[in-house]
Structure 1
Amino acid sequence: MFDPSKLQMLENRLVKVYRHISKIARRQQITCFRVYDDDINEFPFSVDRYDDHVYVSEYTRPHGMDEENHELWLDSSLEVIAKVLEVPLGNIWVKQRQRKVSRQEQYEKVSFESHEVVVHEAGLKFKVNLSDYLDTGLFLDHRITRGMVRAASKDMKVLNLFCYTGSFSVYAAAGGASEVVSVDLSKTYLAWAEENMQLNDLKGNFQFVHADVLQYLDTLPADYFDLVVLDPPTFSNSKRMKEFLDIQRDHVSILNKVLHATKPGGVVYFSNNYRKFQLETEQIQASAIKDITGQTMPFDFQQKLIRKCFKITK
């Protein structure tokens, strides 16, 4: 049964966290940030703010409520969120997700409402879709990593593999990259990446390549790119892929192929979301490997970030 008295717990938590986080966000001129992530057992969801909109993602797990009670619980929770964050209920979007969801499922359409808005990050514009997919198109936890790529991209040839909606590509172009190649298996996401680039009036040598990354790596010239972004799924068995991907099993092979295409002294930013991931450093043909997970941890994901991030120098 839904216990309305517990809503006060949620309100108290949100008030405390939002006051703290929104202050930091304002200071850093950030308008897209995480507010809450499964902080209280009775309220298993994450709450993200995207400018004037709020995206609530409910984790599906046993709650012991029938459908009617669950709806009442969710509606009441959303009212609390709307009140504390001072947004109209009509600007709150809700999704349900499994705790362990494959990257492929993450990208599958779950609705066809298509509510899209343009949001701002670090002076750049990005289209987010708050209704159709399990993810919006902009991973907030990589905000700092994107900034690192922007700062390092001046006059660089940049390769963005598994590029998704191209946010890293936009940052690289904004940083003055001489060439940006974005590769993904999804035509939908490549078109979205192009749209993000156009939203920012960025013009240059930008290529959007529709390909299976695992096969594409074998076509790359040696010693060509200065900077590579590699943010693969943990697992992927898309019907369009020739082989299925297991990042723990395959990362050495993938990284060595990427490094082959990277100039000496060039850098690969490699991240993934596998909780138990272990980098097999001895087998990677690099001159330096640095774990930058801590450095890339944004203020709104403290202690909650499960991804790993490495800076690998050829």
Structure 2
Amino acid sequence: MDSKLQMFENRLTKVFRHISKLAKRQNITCYRVYDDDIPEFPFSIEMYEDHVYIAEYQRRHGMEEADHEAWLDTCLELISKVLNVPPANIWVKQRQRKENRQSQYEKLSAESREMTVYEGGLKFKINLSDYLDTGLFLDHRTTRGMVRHEAKDKKVLNLFCYTGSFSVYAAAGGASEVTSVDLSKTYLAWAEENMKLNGFDTGKHTFVHADVLQYLDTLKLNTFDLVIMDPPTFSNSKRMKDFLDIQRDHAELLNKVLLATKKDGVVYFSNNYRRFILEEDKINAASIKDITNQTLPFDFQQKMVRKCYRLTK
């Protein structure tokens, strides 16, 4: 084995041993193992119970395609060995291309690539094959727990709700009503499915297919007790009337959200923009707390670029 591969194996063995122990202790079965720790091995590697999900980040590697495929196969054999997961349970995405690799690591049978996983005693549908992300953002595990803890008898609004994991946690915490809003019909249907999966009556909760930027202008004042807003950094979806730039637009968005929030209501706001700076002086909140470090799970301690804030009206 060449020295770089040996270095990768040593690193992966070490972090997996450490992180899997912490996960076991906390009864966590979905967690990140490795994230671009060694520049020559630009992967994000996540465990989803007995499956592994690998995203290869786009880098200039200078290899011909055939050489790159061979190198990737070698890496996958090594990952399979270290994590003790059979190749049939390993899924690979290359972040520059949407399609899945046609290789021995792709299941060739017509089996569904969807599975149900557990987090915090709740069930979530994930998809390991069809999208760039699995449907469950593992870095917000702790934040979701905070929302569950605070949701009892509250009216909750989940904006840019994606597959609705925050909505499920809010319902599990006893929210009186959860409104989930997203521009994607696919993700909204997935959010509804996640709610049903956990036995919640979807008739009591609302799923809104809308552009959040326009939807905010339709909200009545002082309606919600608890709001979650985890927007993309940039979005110019064809269905969106306006182009979203979270650095430029966050103060305006938050102020609209705060208008729709009751007095003493809470807004959780996070985003993934690396150079994000919160413009506190422009935001009409009674208090703003940076809770980024408090919300970092053990498997993201080394590498976390997202920011997270708790605003009180």
**TM-score over 0.5 for the pair:** yes
CA contact (8 A) 2:227 2:267 kept: yes
Note the C-alpha offset of 1:110. Answer: 4.1
> Which residue is equivalent to 2:250?
251
Note the C-alpha offset of 1:48. Answer: 0.4
> Which residue is equivalent to 2:214?
215
Q: How many residues align?
A: 303
**142, 145, 148: which one pairs with 2:146?**
148
Which aligned pairs between 1:221-260 and structure 2 lie closer than 5 A? Answer: 221-260=220-259
Name the Cα RMSD after superposition.
Answer: 1.5
> Which residue is equivalent to 1:101?
none
CA contact (8 A) 1:184 1:209 kept: yes
CA contact (8 A) 2:158 2:179 kept: yes
TM superposition score normalised by structure 2:
0.94
Runs of 4+ in 1 over 6 A off after TM superposition: none
Deviations 1:95-129 (A, max 9, x none): 1115xxxxxx9xxx645986111111010010111
Moved more, 182-191 or 33-42: 33-42
CA contact (8 A) 2:94 2:100 kept: no
Note the C-alpha offset of 1:14. Answer: 1.0
CA contact (8 A) 1:185 1:212 kept: yes
Name the amino acid aligned to 1:234. Answer: T
Name the amino acid aligned to 2:73. Answer: D
**151, 155, 169: which one pairs with 1:157?**
155
**2, 7, 17: which one pairs with 2:5?**
7
Where structure 2 has 5 or more consecutive residues not aligned to the other structure, the ranges are: 102-109
Paired with 1:218 and 1:60, the residues of 2 have a C-alpha distance of 38
With over 3 angstroms needed to count, the CA separation of the structure-2 counterparts of 1:210 and 1:110, relative to structure 1, is farther
Note the C-alpha offset of 1:303. Answer: 2.4
> Which residue is equivalent to 2:104?
none
Q: What's the secondary structure of 1:120's corresponding residue?
A: strand
Q: What's the secondary structure of 1:118's corresponding residue?
A: strand
> Which residue is equivalent to 1:199?
197
CA contact (8 A) 1:111 1:133 kept: no
Paired with 1:70 and 1:4, the residues of 2 have a C-alpha distance of 16
Deviations 1:115-163 (A, max 9, x none): 1111110100101110111111000000000000000000000000000
Paired with 1:215 and 1:136, the residues of 2 have a C-alpha distance of 27
Note the C-alpha offset of 1:283. Answer: 1.1
CA contact (8 A) 1:125 1:196 kept: yes
> Which residue is equivalent to 1:309?
308
CA contact (8 A) 2:247 2:276 kept: yes
TM superposition score normalised by structure 1:
0.94
> Which residue is equivalent to 1:77?
75
> Which residue is equivalent to 1:178?
176
> Which residue is equivalent to 2:114?
116
Q: What's the secondary structure of 1:306's corresponding residue?
A: coil
Does residue 1:42 correspond to 2:36, yes or no?
A: no
Note the C-alpha offset of 1:203. Answer: 2.2
CA contact (8 A) 1:167 1:193 kept: yes
Paired with 1:216 and 1:39, the residues of 2 have a C-alpha distance of 40
